Amino acid sequence: HTTMSDSQKPKVEVVTRDYTVNMHKRVHGTGFKKRAPRAVKALKEFAFKTMGTKDVRIEPRLNKHVWSQGVRNVPYRIRVRLARKRNEEEDAAEKLYTLVSYVPVSNFKGLQTLIVDSEE
């Protein structure tokens, strides 16, 4: 049978969700000077896998937070908001892109994935 699994279906709907990303396991075993760059790549990879858009944009605030403790000490966990949005540019290869932004939280205990009503 040739039915597509949920992960392969083209994601059409515009949606925003909050996730907690465990950065610790994603940079584990990485050399000191590559940790923060690897963390940023891991965030992009996470957004791509969960939202299914190749075009992933990381907000400068989130990048600053990843780098806030230096190149070596990436924060153990980061709460992020993934927003799948429509691409307004005419000649865009993809119709949708994902914007990854930082959500400041005091602690991560008991947080779950939340669907956020889009602000628009």
The pTM (predicted TM-score) of the whole model is 0.86
- Per-residue H/E/C for 38-66: HHHHHHHHHHHHHHCCCCEEECHHHHHHH
Q: Is 8 left (phi over 0), alpha (psi -120 to 50) or beta?
A: alpha
Element (H, E) at 102: strand 96-102
* Alpha-helical regions (H) of 1-120: 23-27, 35-51, 60-67
Name the residue type at position 97: Y
Per-residue pLDDT of the chain (120 residues; tens, 9 = 90+): 555 555 555 556 899 999 999 999 999 999 999 999 999 999 999 999 999 999 999 999 999 999 999 999 999 999 999 999 999 988 888 899 999 999 999 999 999 999 988 655
